[in-house]
Structure 1
Amino acid sequence: MRTLLVGLDAACLPVLEPLFETDAVPNLEAIFDEGVSGPLRSQVPPWTASAWPSLYTGKNPGKHGVFDFLSFDGYDWDVVNNSDIKARTIWDYLDENGLTSVIVNAPVTDPPREISGAIIPGYLAPNEPKCQPEGILEDIRESVGEYRVYAERETDDRVDEEAKFEEYVRLTHLRGETFRYLTDRFDPDFGFVQFQKTDAVFHDFPGEMDKVRAVYEAVDEEIGAILEQFDPEVVVVASDHGMGEYDGYEVRVNEILKQEDLVETTTDGRGVPSWFQLKDEELVGGENDSSSDSKSLERLAALAAKGGLTYQRGKAILDKLGLAEFVGKHVPIGAVFAASESVSFETSKAYLRSGSELGVRLNVEGREPNGVVPEGEYESVRDEVIEILTALTDPEGRPVFDEVVPRTAYIDGPFAEEAVDVLCIPREFENSLSVHVGDVFSTPEPWNHKLDGVIAVAGKGVDSDANISEAHLFDVAPTVLSTFSVAPDTAMDGETLSAVNPVDPKSYPEFEISERSKTEDEEVAQRLEDLGYLE
C-alpha cells in the first residue's frame, strides 16, 4: 500500500492529547510524533454528512452538492446518499489513473460507484449496504464476522447501555478487521478506513471519558494491526471536525423569525417536518395507538391547537403541574403530532429547515414550489434576516453568533443554490440551532461539533519540519493525490500541504452526474434522530 488514509470522526487535539499523555493510543501517537501534525480547520457547516464528502473531494459543498444529512426537493426531503455527491472522490481520481483502492466505512458512499478495488459504505448507508464489487459483503461476513454499519439502537429494549457500548467497541474492531481482509485480498495502492464511533461515543455517552478512551484504544489497536501487516509508505490521519462541550444554548431560530413575521406556523399537521413524524414512541412518549379512542384524541388535540393550546404551550403547563412525564407516557404519539405547532414552509418568508445546515433558507418565488418572496426582494429579505440574527444575544447578553453572512462567504459552485441563503456561525460553537418553535433558548446537547479537527501526515518523503498550521479540510484530497504523483483538480478548493511534494493541479473533464437514487431505509433517519441530528 502506498498511502493509507485513516479517518477519525470528530477527532481533535483536545481529545487526543490527554490520550497521548497517558500512552492510551501508542500507534496514533507514533504517527503524530514521527510526522507532521496540527489542527485541521473544518468547513461550514462542520457536520459529518457534508464534511466527509468535502474532505474526500477537496471541494466545498457548493461544488459537490451535499450540505446536510438531508437532501431537499422543494419542501420535501430525503436522507443524503452517494448519488447526491456530484464530484469525483479521491478514489475516483486514482481509478482514472489506473490505481486501486479499498474504502471501508466512508460516510455517504452508498450506493458506491464502480472502481478497481472494493467499497464498503459507512454512515448513512442501510445496515445492508450495497457494496462494490457485488457479493463482497457476504464474503466479509463469512471470513470476518457479522458486519453491521450501526450498533443496535438505543431505543431497542433488547439492548441496555453497557451492551450498546460493548457493540461500539466490537464494531470498531470490525472496521479494522474488514479493512485488513479486503486489503489482503485486493492489494490496493490506496486504503481509506474510517472510524465513526469516535464521534458517536460523545453523543450517546456525553462526558463519559472512560468510554471515549476505550473506543480510541480499539481504534489504535486496529491502526497498529494495519500498519504492521501492510506497512504503507505514507499515512494520513484526518478528521471531519472537532468535538467539545457546549456551554451555551439551543437556539430556536424559527421562533425568532416568527416573532419578526418571517415565519408562519401551522397546527394542521402539514407543516410538521417529516422527520419529526418519524420519532419513535419511546422518544416522544405514548404508544402509537391506531384505535378509535386514539383517533378521537388526535382530533381533539388538533382542535385544541387551533384554539391556541399547542403541544409546546401544553407541555409548559404540564411541566409546572409535574404531570409532563405521566402524560408523555400515556398520550398517543399521533395526538402529539396533531397538536404540534410547527413551521409552515409554504407560507413563511424564511425558515431554518435543519439545525445542522447552520442557516436560514428563503422561500423564493420561482425557486421554491410555493415561494412568497419576490425575486426582486431577495436581497432585502436576506439582509433583514442577517440583521435580526446578528443582533441576537443570549440571556447573558452575549452574541449568539460569531457571524451571520450570505452563503457566498463559505459556499460557492454549481450547486450553491441548493444551500441555505444565510449562514449562521454559532459563537465559538457553544450554541446549537433547533428547528422547533417555542421558547427561544433551551439547553443544548452537552457535547457537539467544533470547527477544528486534526491532521497528521507521516512516512516516506514527508517533511516532518513543514508548517501545516493553516491546514484545511479541503487540503486532504489534493495532499493524498500528490503522494501518488496524481495531479489534483484545479476545481478543488484545497491545496497540497507543504509536508508533501506537490503536483501541479490540472483541469479534469466534467464529472458525469448520475440520476439521484432514493434512500429507501427509514432506519437511517431513525438513527439520525437517536444522535440528535433530526428533531
Structure 2
Amino acid sequence: MESRETTGPKTVLIGIDAACHGVLDPLVADGAVPNLAGLLDDGASGPLESQVPPWTASAWPSLYTGMNPGKHGVFDFLTFDGYDWEVVNATHVDERPLWRLLDSVGQSSVVVNVPVTHPPSEFDGALVPGYMAPEDPNCHPAGLLADVRDEIGSYRVYPNDVDGETAQREEYASVARSRGEAFRYLVDRFDPEFGFVEFQVTDTVFHDQPGDQRTVRAVYEAVDEQVGAILDDCDPDTVVVASDHGMGRYRGHEFRVNEFLRESGDVTAVKGGEGMPSWATVRDGQLKAGKTETEPDERALADVMTGLARFGVTSQRIGKALGLVGLDDFVAKRVPASLVSAGTEQVDFPDSRAYMRSRIECGVRINLEGREPAGIVPPSEYEAVRDDLVRRLSGVRTPDGEPVFEDVARREEYFHGPHADEAADVIAVPSDFDHFLSARLSGSRFGEPTEPWNHKRDGIVAVAGEDIDETVDLTDAHLFDVAPTVLATMGVTADERMDGTVLPAVESSGERSYPEYDRQRSTTDEGGVEDRLANLGYIE
C-alpha cells in the first residue's frame, strides 16, 4: 500500500447498539454522557427508525450495506436450509459493506467489533470482528488480534459472566474500554480514511441485567469515555453516531405464536425433539464458553429426559412445578441446555402446516410442498393459507382486549430483492414492540414477557462536523440511510441499489452502479464453531 501523509479519518461511524432517546435522555440530563450529549447537541440528530426485524444480526448488515434483508440476505441470528440451521456469518451477507465499497474507490478503513463481520474478507485496512464471531476470531490482516492484545492487553468479543454486581459492572466497562482502545490503536497504525467502531455491551446489559439502571449507567459512562477519547485522538472531520434499534421495557404480554397455531391445528408438537435453538444459548453455551461437545454424563441425562418427555413429563411441566416453590430460576442456571431441550415439548416442523421457526424473524413460515423437505401445504393452497394466517393473526387480542400486532402482512410488504423469498411468509409486527413474541410451546397463548426489556423500533442517529447542517430535521431518518450518508460525508457516490438516501444534513454525492459484489460462502466453522453448535437443540 502506498503511504500517504497521516491525516486522520475523514469520517468515523460510532455504532452504539440499542441506543435510543428513551435510554440516553435521562443519562444526558444527569450529565453522565457529556461526549455523546455534545454530538447530539452540536450536530443534526433524531430518532432512527429500524427495520423489521429490529435485531442485531440482521439490522447491522442493513446499516452497513444500506439495503434491506431481502437484498443482503440475513434475517436472523441463524440461517436455514429447510428445517436445518447454522449460525450466520459475514459470508451470508450478499451485499457490499461500506469498507469494501470504499476499498473499491481507493479509500481505506478500520472496522472494530461490528456484528456479522466474521470471517473478514480482504480490503485496504483492518478489521476485528464483533458479535456472531467466536471468542478468538480471525481478523484482517492475519495475526491482528495478537497485535491488539499485545498493545492494549485483554480483548474479547463477549463479556465474561462474573459474580457480584460491582464486578459485573467492571467487566462490562472493561469490554467497552477495549473497543475504544483497539480502535484508536488501529487508526494510529493504519491511518484510514474511514473508521467504524461498535459498542455492543449497551445492548447486552439490558438482556443480562434488565432494569439495573446503575449498571446501564456504568456501561454508558464507559462508552462515553471512549467516544471522547476517539474524538480527541482521531480528530475526524465528521462523526456519525447510529444504533441498530432501540431498547425499552415491555409492558405488554408474551404471545406464544406456536401455541396459538397449535390450537388451530397448524402446529403439531413432538416431545423430546431437537427443536430450534435460541441465539442466547448459542452465544453463551458455545461461542463464549468454547465448548467442543456435550459431556458424557450430560448426554446420558438427556436420553433420560427424552424418554420422560415421551410419557408427558416435559421440561415445561417440571418448570411449572419448580416455579410454584420458587426454584425455577435456581435450577435454570444450573441445568445444561441439552437437558432442557431433550425434555421439552417442541414443534414438529415436518408435520406442521405453519409455524414460527424463530421469534427473531417476526413471522410465520408455511410448510410448503416443493420448498420445505417435507412440505405438506400444496402450492395451489399457498396464497389462501397466507391470507388465512394474516386474517387470524390480525385479530389476536391480549387478555386486556388490545391488539397484539400493529401490522400483519405478506413478506413482500417488508422485503424486496433476491433473498426476499427466504423471509417468513407472513410478517407479524408487535404493537409498539411492547409484546414479546415467543416460538415456544408452554400450554397457554399468553404469559409474562420472558425478557422484560427488549428491542424497540426507534434507535438514534447524530451527524456532526464542520460541513454538517445541524439545523435540519432528522425525524424521518431510517436505518438504511446510514450507509449512503457516511459515503456522502466522504465525497463518495452511493450504490444505486441502496434502499436508503442521504440524510438532509449532508450534501449528497449522487448514485451510481457498482460492479457485482463477489464473495464466497463459508459455513460457521472457524475454530470448530459449527461442530460445537451441531448438538445444540435448546429452544427459548
1:23–1:343 Cα change, 3 Å: same
Count of residues paired in the alignment: 517
Question: Which of these residues, 205, 209, 225, is aligned with residue 205 of structure 1?
Answer: 209
2:440·2:539 contact (CA, 8 Å) conserved in 1? no
Amino acid of the residue matched to residue 448 of structure 1? N
Decide whether the 8 Å contact of 1:79 with 1:519 is kept in 2: no
Give the aligned partner of residue 461 of structure 2.
Answer: 455
Give, as a single letter, the amino acid of the residue that structure 2 aligns with 1:102: V
**In 1, are the aligned partners of 2:315 and 2:343 still within 8 Å (CA)?**
yes
Return closer, same or farther for 1:341/1:469 CA change in 2, 3 Å cut-off.
Answer: same
Show the 5 A alignment for 1:358-437: 358-437=362-441
Look up the equivalent residue of 2:503 and give its one-letter code. L
User: For residue 488 of structure 1, what is the amino acid of its counterpart?
Assistant: A
C-alpha contact 2:47 2:458 (8 A) present in aligned 1? yes
Q: Is the 8 A contact 1:304 1:339 kept in 2?
A: no
Which residue of structure 1 aligns with residue 276 of structure 2? 273
Is residue 2:518 matched to residue 1:512?
A: yes
How far is the alpha carbon of 1:245 from its aligned partner?
0.5
RMSD: 2.7
Q: How much has 1:242 moved relative to structure 2? A: 0.5
Q: Among all aligned residue pairs of Structure 1 and Structure 2, give the percentage whose two residues are the same amino acid.
A: 51
Asked if 1:490 is matched to 2:493, the reply is: no
Contact 1:236 1:456 in 2 (8 A): yes
Q: What is the aligned partner in structure 2 of residue 51 from structure 1?
A: 59
1:162-181 correspondence to structure 2 within 5 Å: 162-181=166-185
Partner Cα distance (2:333, 2:21) in 1? 42
The aligned amino acid for 2:264 is: E
Aligned partners of 1:403, 1:462: CA distance in 2, in Å? Answer: 36
8 Å CA contact retained: 1:36, 1:458: yes
Query: Over residues 118-155 of structure 1, what are the superposed CA-to-partner deviations in whole Å (9 max), with x where a residue is unaligned?
Result: 00000111110110011111111111112111111x3x
The 2-side partners of 1:146 and 1:463 are apart by 40
CA distance in 2, matches of 1:200, 1:327: 23
Partner residue of 1:530?
none
Establish whether residue 301 from structure 1 lines up as the match of residue 308 from structure 2: yes
Identify if the C-alpha distance between structure 1 residues 461 and 385 changes in structure 2 by more than 3 Å, giving closer, same or farther: same
Cα distance in 2 between the residues matched to 1:380 and 1:510: 37
TM-score by length of 2: 0.90
**Counterpart position of 2:103:** 95
Matching residue's letter, 1:273 = M
Distance 1:516 1:191 in 2: 26
Match of 1:17 among 25, 28, 35: 25
Counterparts of residues 8-407 of structure 1 (less than 5 Å): 8-152=16-160, 154=161, 159-267=163-271, 269-275=272-278, 290=297, 294=301, 297-298=304-305, 300-305=307-312, 309-316=313-320, 319=323, 336-407=340-411
SS in 2 for 1:346: helix
Output the CA distance in 2 between the equivalents of 1:524 and 1:43. Answer: 28
Deviation at 1:215, TM superposition (A): 1.1
Larger mean Cα displacement after TM superposition, 51-60 or 357-366: 357-366
Quick one: structure 1 residues 392 and 106, their matched pair in 2 at CA, closer, same or farther if it must change by over 3 Å? same
The separation in 2 between residues aligned to 1:526 and 1:397, in whole angstroms, is 44
Gapped runs of 5+ residues in structure 1?
Answer: 282-286, 528-532
Instruction: Work out the CA distance in 2 between the residues paired with 1:488 and 1:33.
Output: 27
Of 442, 446, 470, which residue of structure 1 is paired with 2:447?
442
Distance 1:131 1:192 in 2: 15
| Residue 477 of structure 1, CA deviation | 0.2
Query: Are the equivalent residues in 2 in contact too, given 1:354–1:435 (CA < 8 A)?
Result: yes
- Summarize the Cα distance change of 1:22–1:299 in structure 2 as closer, same or farther, 3 Å threshold: closer
Structure 1 residue 271 displacement after superposition: 4.6
Counterpart CA distance in 2 for 1:291 and 1:518 is: 24
Task: Give the match for residue 467 of structure 1.
Answer: 473
In structure 2, stretches of 5+ residues that fail to align are: 1-8, 287-293
Q: Are the counterparts in 1 of residues 274 and 341 from structure 2 also a CA contact under 8 Å?
A: no
Assess, with a 3 A threshold, how the Cα gap between structure 1 residues 327 and 46 changes in structure 2: closer, same or farther.
closer
Aligned partner of 1:476 among 471, 479, 482: 482
1:337 and 1:26, CA in 2 relative to 1: closer, same or farther beyond 3 A?
Answer: closer
Question: Aligned partners of 1:4, 1:351: CA distance in 2, in Å?
Answer: 42
Of the structure 1 ranges 221-230 and 514-523, higher mean CA displacement relative to structure 2 is found in 514-523
Q: Structure 1 residues 313, 525: CA separation in 2 closer, same or farther (over 3 Å shift)?
A: farther
Partners of 1:47 and 1:297 in 2: CA distance: 36
Deviation at 1:312, TM superposition (A): 2.5
Amino acid at match of 1:37: S
State how far apart, in whole Å, the 1-side matches of 2:434 and 2:66 are.
27
User: 1:82-131: per-residue Cα shift (whole Å, max 9, x none)?
Assistant: 01100001111110000010000000000011110100000111110110
Q: 2:299 and 2:514 mapped to 1: Cα distance?
A: 62
**Structure 1 residues 521 and 207: alpha-carbon distance in aligned structure 2, compared to 1, 3 A threshold:** farther
Structure 2 residue matching 1:413: 3-state secondary structure: coil
Letter in 2 for 1:103: V
- Provide the rounded CA distance (Å) in 2 between the counterparts of 1:292 and 1:52: 36
Task: Please identify, of 313-322 and 502-511, the stretch whose mean Cα deviation from structure 2 is larger.
Answer: 313-322
Q: Distance in 1 between matches of 2:93 and 2:300?
A: 46
Paired residue type of 2:398: D
Letter matched to residue 164 of structure 1: Q
Tell me if the contact between 1:247 and 1:431 (Cα under 8 Å) persists in the aligned partners: yes
Alpha-carbon separation, structure 1, partners of 2:494 and 2:42: 26
Q: Hey, what's the Cα distance between the residues in 2 that align with 1:332 and 1:170?
A: 28
Deviations, residues 368-423 of structure 1 (Å, cap 9, x unaligned): 11111111111111111111111111111111111111111111110111111111
What residue in structure 2 maps to residue 284 of structure 1? none
d(CA) in 2 for partners of 1:325, 1:29? 38
